[in-house]
Amino acid sequence: MIKVLVVGQTPPPFHGQAIMIEETLKANYEGIRLYHVRMGFSKRIDDIGKFRFRKIFHLLGIIIKAVYYKFRHNIKVLYYPPAGPDIIPVYRDLIFLNSTRFLFKRTIFHFRAAGVSTIYEQLSPFLKRLYKRSYFSPDIAIRLSDLNPPDGSFLEAKKEFIVPNGIKDHAQDFLPEIETKKSFCQLLYVGIVRESKGIAVLIETCRLLKKRGAHFRLLIVGKFDSREFQDEIFGKVKEYDLSEEVEFSGVLTGKEKYRRYRLADIFCYPTFYGPESFGLSLLEAMQFSLPVVATKWRGVPSVIKEGINGFLVRIKDSLAFADKLDLLIRNPDLRKTMGARAREIYCQEFSLERYRDRMEKVFLSLEDG
């Protein structure tokens, strides 16, 4: 029996990493037993990556729990999702891993947030030494896409695996719904609402589409990461006279969120977010047969295939984004064809069952060492 201690966030809040760690823990793997020490640094999505004094005490509690579980259950394998290229989460990793990693015979790093390797050169000599002690030479490195930064090879991992995310098919409960006639094309974005997710670019795109006479509505589902950015975006919507075209719903979960996917015609994902690997919302859109317009950023092109299930444009290019959206808005048959292909790709490559099969092989590979 391979015993693995999984240290990581599970919902709430609901975001890609937390959801996928929860799905990893729920699976039944042959010959593998998972134990869990929950990270709960952030209670809200807009709190992720920000310093709070309470997080220090929470970190100490996680260290104590990890040490307890290790000796109580004789666990030899540590599974841990390293930070992305943001300094505060990296500090957290340095403290946790220097305090616990040496106790475990094997270490698995799952780079759900991509790019921790890119921060190394920015560190002081002292922090570089801590970084090497914390991160270097894991037994296994897992990336979500081979287009993401080569974190595993940079850290000199002994084995490396590519394991894309996979999610439950929620669309099955909604696909039989009767189509409703609309005089406009419904655009959708789902995720945290922040500048690096391309939200300002998307608002500028809407300005261009309205100028061209396109008939559309954009729904943005998610929470703003700051009041300042919210005020900026609301100001642009007012300046561009887009109050009839752009709606903000706030956070939606469960059936209410999936219903919004069902009612949408096109999914928008203009991200250039630093830790991006590829968002779960892309898979949610694909299972609901939505064509996607997204950016050529990190692992996104491993999910969205140009001209097949969507279009890819350069980051921060609102004109190119508008061109592709305009093409889809004016061609319902193209939307239908691309949407059907999107669902096929989801079913073939990104189902929850496929993800769990791949993870089981990763865990079982520990027997080879």
137 — pLDDT class (breaks 50, 70, 90): very high
pLDDT at 47 over 70: no
- The full length of the chain comes to 369
Q: If you average pLDDT over residues 152-162, what whole number do you get?
A: 97
pLDDT at 179 over 80: no
C-alpha–C-alpha distance, residues 199 and 259, integer Å: 22
Lowest average pLDDT, out of 4-18, 25-39, 55-69, 349-363, goes to 4-18
What is the DSSP-derived secondary structure letter of residue 73?
A: T
pLDDT on residue 12: 80
Q: Which pair of structure tokens corresponds to residue 364?
A: 């079982």
C-alpha–C-alpha distance, residues 342 and 309, integer Å: 5
Selection from 271, 274, 311, 277 nearest residue 291 by Cα: 311
What predicted TM-score, i.e. pTM, was given to this entire model? 0.91
- How crowded is the C-beta side of 266, counted as CA atoms within 13 Å? 29
Kindly provide the b/e burial profile for residues 120-144, where b requires at least 16 CB atoms within 10 angstroms of the residue's own CB: beeeeeebeebbeebbeebbbbbbb
Q: Provide the H-helix boundaries in the chain.
A: 16-26, 53-72, 87-100, 125-135, 151-154, 199-212, 227-239, 254-263, 280-287, 318-329, 332-349, 352-364
pLDDT higher for 358 or 177?
A: 358
Is there a contact between 113 and 280 (Cβ–Cβ < 8 Å)?
no
Q: What is the mean pLDDT of the chain?
A: 93
pLDDT on residue 13: 76
- pLDDT above 70 covers a percentage of the chain that reads 94
pLDDT at 363 over 60: yes
Selection from 195, 268, 203 nearest residue 239 by Cα: 203
pLDDT at 189 over 60: yes
**Complete DSSP assignment for 178-211:** PP---SSEEEEEES-B-GGGTHHHHHHHHHHHHH
pLDDT on residue 233: 98
Q: If you average pLDDT over residues 229-249, what whole number do you get?
A: 97
Q: What is the largest CA-CA distance in the chain?
A: 66
Q: If you average pLDDT over residues 115-133, what whole number do you get?
A: 96
- pLDDT above 90 covers a percentage of the chain that reads 85
Distances in Å between the alpha carbon of 155 and those of 116, 129, 211, 262, 270?
A: 10, 13, 49, 42, 30
Q: If you average pLDDT over residues 121-148, what whole number do you get?
A: 97
Domains and CATH numbers, the chain: 2-166+351-368 (3.40.50.2000), 171-349 (3.40.50.2000)
pLDDT at 239 over 90: yes
What is the DSSP-derived secondary structure letter of residue 305?
A: P
Three-point CA angle 175, 252, 26, nearest 5°:
75
- Provide CB contacts within 8 A for 101, sequence distance 6+: 78, 107, 134
128 — pLDDT class (breaks 50, 70, 90): very high
C-alpha–C-alpha distance, residues 286 and 348, integer Å: 11
181 — pLDDT class (breaks 50, 70, 90): low
Selection from 38, 34, 35, 44 nearest residue 12 by Cα: 44
CA dihedral 71, 74, 77, 80 (to 10 degrees): -40
* pLDDT tens, position by position, 322-352: 999 999 999 999 999 999 999 999 999 999 9
Q: If you average pLDDT over residues 121-146, what whole number do you get?
A: 97
Best mean pLDDT range from 17-21, 36-40, 149-153: 149-153
